[in-house]
């Protein structure tokens, strides 16, 4: 266990906000977590767990303990002709894990290529992209209770997965630490290439393979989304809003071209990017903060912005969308 006091979080959040935490505790195995729970530091509140810091916005210094998990390892638990069961440690880099699976011919998460963050963070917000969500490949999530130190295994159903949500982001937020995630990946996987943009990009490849899907997704993401190493951001800042049929019908009268789609649960979702663009926020910049010029759902820190400046910019967008469409945009990013 590595303990740092009054530590900078600059390199631990992809918004590159200059904030400090009272304690930054790096845990590299399950024993470290137990040692932390048995230590004096455990009494300090608040506490939170940080993965890759790619979905978080700190608006002030954190007067508590932040735990960073660097538990590593991928275990092949069992395998048959159809599938493989892999247990990955929470601190593994997500995209390295996807690359490893694709290389071995195991399907189910290839559309989720190039998403920043860690394996342990993937179930928390049920990461999703290009018609795929991680919940469809998760068999089990292992946790340790931050107060009692007791371990618990959550089956897929017990994770209560929903669009960009799970029990780990709702009832159990900052109450448990995810240590391992077990995935079931398929050997004769049915490719999911229904997403229009992915289909189009794949048509440039001679055949549809796991590797080509991964390449196509990476190409699309690099084209549309800013690279955090160049332009600090946390991916989509807002969720796509779910609306009812009545609201959709009334919006369609005013905006016949409004894009909408049905998710796997049959909910009607609008495109937050479209709503924001329609309110003229695409590519707009106020001092050090702006929306990305190619995708208005992504808020970028051009350098030097603090968390409250980013938050106040985001709130202006929310207000604008509310005034214009009567729709409240929820944040996808965790605001601390």
Residue 270's CB is within 10 A of a number of other CB atoms, namely: 21
Residue 332 interacting with ligand EPU (CB under 6 A): yes
Taking the complex as a whole, the smallest distance from the CB of residue 202 to ligand EPU amounts, in Å, to 14
The count of residues interacting with ligand EPU (CB under 6 A) is 19
Residue 169 interacting with ligand EPU (CB under 6 A): no
Residue 271 interacting with ligand EPU (CB under 6 A): yes
Cβ proximity to ligand EPU: between 287 and 293 the closer is: 293
Residue 241 interacting with ligand EPU (CB under 6 A): no
Part in contact with ligand EPU (CB under 6 A); list of ranges 56-64, 102-110, 289-297, 310-318 = 289-297
Residues 177 and 70: beta-carbon distance below 8 Å: no
Residues 179 and 143: beta-carbon distance below 8 Å: yes
User: Annotated catalytic residue: which of 164, 169, 184, 214?
Assistant: 164
133 is catalytic: no
Taking the complex as a whole, the smallest distance from the CB of residue 260 to ligand EPU amounts, in Å, to 9
User: 230: Cβ–Cβ under 8 A, 6 or more apart, which residues?
Assistant: none
164 is catalytic: yes
207 is catalytic: no
Among 210, 295, 310, 313, binds ligand EPU (CB under 6 A): 295
The residue whose Cβ lies closest to ligand EPU is 235
Convert the chain into a string of H (helix), E (strand) and C (coil).
CEEEEEEECHHHCCCCCCCEEEEEEEECCHHHHHHHHCCHHHHCCCEEEECCCCCEECCCCEEEEEEEECCCCEEEEEECCCEEEEEEECCCEHHHHHHHHHHCCCECCHHHCCCCCECCCCCCCCCEECCEEHHHHEEEEEEEECCCCCEEEEECHHHCCECCECCCCCCCCCCEEEEEEEEEEECCCCCCCCCHHHHHHHCCCCCCCHHHHHHHHHHHHHHHCCCCCCCEEEEECECCCEECHHHHHHHHHHCCCCCEEECCCCCEEECHHHHHHHCCCCCCEECCEEEECCEEEEEEECCCCCHHHHHHHHHHHHHHHHHHHCCCCCECCEEC
Residue 13 interacting with ligand EPU (CB under 6 A): no
Among 130, 161, 168, 325, binds ligand EPU (CB under 6 A): 130
Among 13, 113, 236, 331, binds ligand EPU (CB under 6 A): 236
Part in contact with ligand EPU (CB under 6 A); list of ranges 4-12, 59-67, 86-94, 272-280 = 272-280
- For residue 191 the two structure tokens come to 């490719």
Taking the complex as a whole, the smallest distance from the CB of residue 218 to ligand EPU amounts, in Å, to 12
Cβ proximity to ligand EPU: between 83 and 240 the closer is: 240
Taking the complex as a whole, the smallest distance from the CB of residue 284 to ligand EPU amounts, in Å, to 12
Residue 277 interacting with ligand EPU (CB under 6 A): yes
- State the burial class of residue 104 (Cβ atoms within 10 Å of its Cβ: 0-12, 13-18, 19+): middle
Cβ proximity to ligand EPU: between 123 and 296 the closer is: 296
Residue 214 interacting with ligand EPU (CB under 6 A): no
Among 159, 273, 279, 317, binds ligand EPU (CB under 6 A): 273
User: Annotated catalytic residue: which of 110, 142, 201, 332?
Assistant: 332
Residue 172 interacting with ligand EPU (CB under 6 A): no
Binding site for ligand EPU (CB under 6 A): 129-130, 197, 224-225, 235-236, 239-240, 259, 271, 273-274, 277, 282, 295-297, 332
Residues belonging to the active site? 164, 236, 332
């Amino acid at each position: 266990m590595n303990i740092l006091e009054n530590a900078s979080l600059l390199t631990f959040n992809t918004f590159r906000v200059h904030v400090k935490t009272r304690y930054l505790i790096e845990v590299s195995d399950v024993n470290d977590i137990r040692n932390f729970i048995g230590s004096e530091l455990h009494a300090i509140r608040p506490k939170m767990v940080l993965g890759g810091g790619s979905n978080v916005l700190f608006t002030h210094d954190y007067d508590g303990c932040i735990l960073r998990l660097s538990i590593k390892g991928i275990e092949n638990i069992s395998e048959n002709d159809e599938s493989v069961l892999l247990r990955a440690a929470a601190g593994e880099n997500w995209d390295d894990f996807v690359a490893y699976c694709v290389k071995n011919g195991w399907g189910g998460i290839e559309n989720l290529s190039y998403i920043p963050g860690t394996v342990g963070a993937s179930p928390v917000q049920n990461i999703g992209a290009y018609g795929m969500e991680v919940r469809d490949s998760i068999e089990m999530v292992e946790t340790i209770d931050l107060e009692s130190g007791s371990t618990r295994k959550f089956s897929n159903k017990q994770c209560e997965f929903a669009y960009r949500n799970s029990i780990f982001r709702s009832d159990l937020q900052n109450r448990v630490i995810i240590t391992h995630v077990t995935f079931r990946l398929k050997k004769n996987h049915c490719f999911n290439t229904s997403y229009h943009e992915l289909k189009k990009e794949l048509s440039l490849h001679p055949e549809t393979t796991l590797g080509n899907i991964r390449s196509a997704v990476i190409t699309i993401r690099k084209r549309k989304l800013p690279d955090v190493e160049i332009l600090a951001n946390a991916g989509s800042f807002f969720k796509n809003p779910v609306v009812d049929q009545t609201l959709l019908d009334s919006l369609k009268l005013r905006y016949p071209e409004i894009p909408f789609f049905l998710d796997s649960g049959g909910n009607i979702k609008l495109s937050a990017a479209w709503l924001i663009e329609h309110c003229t926020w695409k590519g707009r910049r106020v001092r050090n903060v702006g929306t990305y010029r190619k995708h208005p759902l992504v808020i970028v820190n051009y350098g030097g912005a603090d968390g409250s400046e980013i938050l106040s910019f985001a709130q202006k967008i929310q207000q604008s969308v509310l005034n214009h469409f009567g729709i409240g945009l929820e944040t996808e990013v965790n605001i601390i």
